[in-house]
Structure 1
């Protein structure tokens, strides 16, 4: 071991040397053990990030040959296939019936386990692993080559523990926010299926308090008026596009300027827009304020909205029952089906009172705000973790 320089960020109370050492010196690789009769098997799809997301029940007789790494509390499992994915796991359960695939290297640390996991997630270390990988589609490293890689660690076990605790806390926070995000997304999907009438029904299964009576059978024609304000050509127009799967309207980035022969049309904030070609992929949106005045072609029909709540409208059309119906009336070949505005506007719908529309729109807006807030928090925590990994290790 040899002394080396200090990282950009370090807890102030620690001043001991940082030393460079091979992984084989600070962890036992793939310790031998016997398979239990019944166990929970962890394959390469079971770990996402630093979280265990699934397992399957196996017996010693039925298990695949790759089921060999019997986990012990404190073990770190490093994914040797496609290591750039950083799907690595610290086993912290007081159980002896979890068995990991040989696609993971099993490290039994002689240092702080949480510290070691964090150290193995750092970008510089991952790059060293990738340099030693073989294969193209499924780049992989073997345990022996992995064990020979050198890393820097503090000599002080307390400092290791403090660093490990910090990253364990970050990982726990990320897991909590991701779980809550999944719950809110699941709640929205459930409520979308229950707060709008199903085919052949006149009222929804779940209704907000204070509303009753049948929803009116109608079309979209009274509520949408196509907008065709001529704009620029493709060479100069500032363009918008609609993302798939209900992800909104964004500025369109193009590598090459559009054609001077293509006519574009001015779009306004608050208008409803959809893609003729991608309607079965939920390509619907409401144009946001920041894209007011941007332009698109007639392949993205755009409408002024009247006498209907915009959020209610958007959630209504993004339901599977609605956009799958469009496929039955679309024009064109199977690979290039289009639905034109004149067909879109006469599709059958059921519409409640404007007050109920607004209440439903508000309900889903609140859910969306919670979803976005959790997505932003996850992004912030992931950015913080990446920065700390970069600054706390060398």
Structure 2
């Protein structure tokens, strides 16, 4: 009786609420499993006319096979609609293929329905496969371990209903992901075109009615005041029971200049008795050490750790300022890609050269354009996260 109760999911479609418990099976009893075999590397190509080669999770993205490498040698093959399971680190990643393909030894193919596909996703999320690789140097699973994996299955009709529900959820997630990617790509394109390229004095794209070259200024020239930060003594409890936000690098969201989420608050006495400073609202906080390059407009009074430099009482439109600084830091980071940037000094930052339009209205329009894009990106990201969380909740409740 206890075994039967354990084999009933928490959430079930209404028409199956009084149906039999799910039956425990081995994965190999339900599906056909084929282990991959790698072709000789001399037969690898970049010619899409050859056979698609799937070698591991690098060839899968968001649950789908994405062609990356091709081969002229056929070893083990999969057909369109087959499932692909990663059998080497990271073990358990799973995807579907929309193509016939050759599979290498880093994956296995599984001929399973949508229910089995979601079951494998659930197994990955719960760490099912980690039991086989704990303590080993190289994480992997073999044919026997896959075939002997324990699963619980309902009737074919209930499997179909569950598979259809998750297919619909996956479709919605894909649509929202595409919308989000499109917005991010649009923002990236505008960042490239609406600020002058290196060595140029005018941007490639401009709002109608604005002409003439932009003016070069140092970062030090776009604000009246600058502030550093510090950490109040952590052993003094009275310093940490106030209501003044104390911002750390992890409170600033990567890639977003409009999101700051303080997790710690300090008292007025902490400000008086430490190196941290009380900084006016609507200043720009820039991370200069751990997480260098992150920055954000802070719409409230705040303090920071020593990892920040803040610009206050801005002489240009604040939205324009934060995006031109974001663009500058992004460009500088890309220029030294591959090297480790541990930090930037206050002097180095304030010496950075920026191109600024003299017309305040043009500054405002540019700043507003990017803030609107960021609000849309945040909105779509929240919708996407909500759908992903809903799917995970259903995976936890609708499978045994």
TM-score class normalised by the smaller sequence:
0.7 to 0.9
Deviation of 1:78 (Å): 1.5
Which one has a larger percent helix, Structure 1 or Structure 2?
A: 2
Change (3 A) 1:124 1:12: farther
- Indicate yes or no: 2:326 matched with 1:318: yes
CA–CA distance in 1 between the matches of 2:161 and 2:55? 30
Q: Corresponding residue for 1:282? A: 293
Q: Corresponding residue for 1:64? A: none
Q: Note if contact 2:84-2:107 (Cα within 8 Å) is conserved in structure 1.
A: yes
CA–CA distance in 2 between the matches of 1:99 and 1:51? 15
Deviation of 1:259 (Å): 12
Aligned length: 365
Q: Note if contact 1:83-1:129 (Cα within 8 Å) is conserved in structure 2.
A: no
Q: Corresponding residue for 2:346? A: 340
Calculate the aligned-residue CA RMSD, in Å: 3.6
1:16-165 equivalences in 2 (<5 Å): 16-17=19-20, 18-30=22-34, 38-44=50-56, 45-60=58-73, 68-82=75-89, 86-91=92-97, 93=98, 95-96=99-100, 98-109=101-112, 113-123=113-123, 126-133=126-133, 136=136, 138-155=138-155, 157-165=156-164
Deviation of 1:296 (Å): 2.0
Secondary structure of the residue aligned to 2:277 is strand
Deviation of 1:267 (Å): 2.4
Unaligned 5+ runs, structure 1: 61-66, 329-333
- Pick from 5, 8, 17: which aligns with 1:6? 8
Secondary structure of the residue aligned to 2:15 is coil
Change (3 A) 1:278 1:231: closer
CA–CA distance in 1 between the matches of 2:325 and 2:392? 39
Q: Corresponding residue for 1:373? A: 379
Deviation of 1:244 (Å): 7.5
Q: Deviations over 1:309-359 (max 9, x none)?
A: 21211111122477629x99xxxxx97654325x64454322111111111
Q: Deviations over 1:11-69 (max 9, x none)?
A: 11235422111111111111899999930111211113413234322211xxxxxx744
Q: Note if contact 2:123-2:129 (Cα within 8 Å) is conserved in structure 1.
A: no
Q: Note if contact 1:232-1:265 (Cα within 8 Å) is conserved in structure 2.
A: no
Deviation of 1:230 (Å): 9.7
Change (3 A) 1:132 1:221: closer
Secondary structure of the residue aligned to 1:176 is helix
Q: Note if contact 1:70-1:99 (Cα within 8 Å) is conserved in structure 2.
A: yes
CA–CA distance in 2 between the matches of 1:230 and 1:153? 58
Q: Note if contact 2:271-2:277 (Cα within 8 Å) is conserved in structure 1.
A: no
Q: TM-score, normalised by structure 2?
A: 0.79
Q: Corresponding residue for 2:46? A: none
CA–CA distance in 2 between the matches of 1:77 and 1:231? 51
Deviation of 1:247 (Å): 4.2
Deviation of 1:136 (Å): 3.9
- Indicate yes or no: 2:301 matched with 1:301: no
CA–CA distance in 2 between the matches of 1:224 and 1:31? 62
Change (3 A) 1:43 1:304: same
Unaligned 5+ runs, structure 2: 44-48
CA–CA distance in 2 between the matches of 1:57 and 1:374? 35
Q: Note if contact 1:22-1:149 (Cα within 8 Å) is conserved in structure 2.
A: yes
Deviation of 1:161 (Å): 1.0
CA–CA distance in 1 between the matches of 2:136 and 2:209? 61
- Pick from 276, 282, 287: which aligns with 1:264? 276
Q: TM-score, normalised by structure 1?
A: 0.80
Deviation of 1:164 (Å): 0.6
Q: Deviations over 1:202-239 (max 9, x none)?
A: 21011122322222333344431225599983332552
